[in-house]
Amino acid sequence: MAVNQAAGQLLALERRSNTRYPVELNVRYHALADGRPLLGMGHTLNASSRGLLIASSQQIVHHGSLLQVSLEWPLLLDGATPLQLIAVCRVIRCHPAGFAVRMQRYQFRTRKPGIPRIP
């Protein structure tokens, strides 16, 4: 199944009560407490004030995993400095094409100029 088709099915399964906004932002994530290295990339399908739906072809996260997620924020600080949203999240649902997380805490940080954007 193509990733875009599977991502569309993820959107159809949405059951959250918070308002979701369709937004596509590049995402990097890594495990915080699973005892094994876990690194991945993907993009958001939608976001709310408490959660994210992330499409990723890497099926490496599991329900209940604690992740640190880094999103490339689309706006620049003072019109010049790239930003990223860093969030500690718990995986609450997994699907073949991605997963949903609930954000426990988050903060904005400036992105270092040497860090390349996710393709």
How far apart are the C-alpha atoms of 22 and 26, rounded to whole Å?
A: 13
pTM: 0.77
Q: Residues of 55-87 as b/e, b for ≥16 C-beta within 10 angstroms?
A: bbeeeebeeebebebbbbbeeeeeeeebebbeb
Q: Which pLDDT band, with edges at 50, 70 and 90, does 1 fall under?
A: very low
Query: Which of the two residues, 118 and 106, has the higher pLDDT score?
Result: 106
- Give CATH for domain 3-110: 2.40.10.220
Best CA proximity match to 24, nearest among 57, 9, 46, 4: 46
Pairing of the two strands 98-110 and 81-95: antiparallel
Q: Which pLDDT band, with edges at 50, 70 and 90, does 115 fall under?
A: low
Q: Which pLDDT band, with edges at 50, 70 and 90, does 53 fall under?
A: very high
Q: Kindly report, residue by residue over 57-91, the tens digit of the pLDDT.
A: 877 788 998 999 999 998 889 988 999 999 999 99
- Average pLDDT on 5-9 reads 58
Across the chain, mean pLDDT equals: 83
What pairs with residue 39 in β-bridges?
30
The residue extents of the domains of the chain are: 3-110
pLDDT value of position 38: 80
How far apart are the C-alpha atoms of 72 and 114, rounded to whole Å?
A: 14
Among 6-10, 94-98, 111-115, top mean pLDDT goes to: 94-98
Residue type, 78: D
